[in-house]
Amino acid sequence: MAKVITDSSRLASRSGLCSPKPDEKQINEVLTRGVEDIIVKESLEKKLKSGKQLRVKFGIDPTGSDLHIGHAVTLRKLKQFQDLGHNIILLIGDYTAMIGDPSGRDRTRPVLSEKDVKHNMKTYLAQAAKIINIKKAEIRHNSEWYKKPGFTHLLMDLTSRITVARVLERDDFQQRLKEGSDIQMQEIMYPLLQGYDSVMLKADVELGGSDQKFNLLMGRKLQKKYNQPEQDIMTMTLLEGIDGQKKMSKSYGNYIALLDTPEDMFGKIMSIPDDLIKKYFELATDVQNAEVEKIIGDPLKAKKRLAREIVALYHSAKSAQEAQENFVKVFSKGENPEEVQTIKVSNKNIIGVLVETGLASSNSEARRLISQAGVKSNGQVITDSTLILHSGEHLIQKGKRFFIKVIVD
């Protein structure tokens, strides 16, 4: 169970309680590993050395049901603060998720309904608990203040403190203006609402990806406007997805989910480009750089070690070893995996089967996979997109790594 937040516990966590003073090595690890930028570094370093218990905030919008190892980069940094005795705050942006974060977007994000958001965040805490100690974390939802009566007054007050010109300074908005693309008013509001979260939580430090820098700075600006001490901000290096091109994202479908099976997780990690191995070690594992340098010269060996480390973090060392053995069996020896998910499908057409099982996100993607000889049924490459599967069991394979056994009536 997550920490129960009461008025007295909030006061206690803001009363300047001390945490054990960290040594220089611990402080250096917090301030450097995976960190892109710190504003203001001198201020944060001084706070860490003082031993004062800090309120460290990280917010996640439930725009999808899966957390992935891209999210884990910041969650792991949050854990470092927690291990040092600081009060960490995991803020679930259940209200702001319905608006949509414009960060890094060249178009408006589709609006989510309240039902969508509730569905998405059902397992968020269980997933986050794979990294941080949920029982000792402060779990908050920004609907706590945005759904209260008087929101209209709050909105008027909030918008009176920041100019439109300041909000439009962000790079992604400037690019869209140049291209003549639309910017919706709700997107303009998003950074103000995220910034106001820091006011409500009285955050001392806020963590986020480097693409969140504008929003995090807005928290500092609004805290100053509301006569609060300005939070220090720490931006984390973004982790590219398994495609090796775009940042890891649910929207791009290039992510490794924390809930992936050991076999899927291992296989996805083995598929990343070689030039990302070192970065994945730094951002997604605890292996020290000196050790990574010793094995980085052999990409296959390094990638297997990387995959074992990550699978062990979210499952177990035993699961990691078994996943590696299964990977070697399937991809080095050309055998089929021993354990494959079985799905009973309503479709018989191969296109419908691929979409229904999730091997393809759409009919067009399914056709593309088949045209590229990327789909097999019982070991045979499928070349006909109109193929009708006969009744019975079929082992469907997409690419080299994904296997699903389908049962057709």
Across the range 14-29, mean pLDDT stands at 71
Tokens of residue 43, six digits? 């201020």
Q: What is the pLDDT of residues 332-365, one digit of tens each?
A: 666 666 667 788 888 888 999 998 888 888 888 8
CA angle 30, 31, 37 (to 5 degrees): 135
> Class of the 341-408 domain?
alpha beta
Exposed, middle or buried, 134 (CB in 10 Å: 0-12/13-18/19+)? middle
CA angle 91, 95, 96 (to 5 degrees): 80
CATH number of the domain located at residue range(s) 262-332 in this protein: 1.10.240.10
Indicate whether 14 pLDDT > 50: no
pTM of the model: 0.74
- Two domains, one topology: 7-236 and 341-408: no
Superfamily of domain 7-236: HUPs (3.40.50.620)
Indicate whether 308 pLDDT > 80: yes
Across the range 213-239, mean pLDDT stands at 94
Indicate whether 106 pLDDT > 90: no
* Domain extent listing, the chain: 7-236, 262-332, 341-408
Is the Cβ–Cβ distance between 204 and 47 less than 8 Å?
Answer: yes
Q: Distance between CA atoms of 106 and 96, rounded to whole angstroms?
A: 19
CA angle 275, 209, 221 (to 5 degrees): 150
What is the predicted pLDDT for the residue at 4?
45
Q: Which residue reads 């006061």 in tokens?
A: 11
Q: Distance between CA atoms of 136 and 329, rounded to whole angstroms?
A: 42
Q: What is the pLDDT of residues 118-141, one digit of tens each?
A: 888 888 999 999 999 999 999 999
Q: Distance between CA atoms of 63 and 155, rounded to whole angstroms?
A: 23
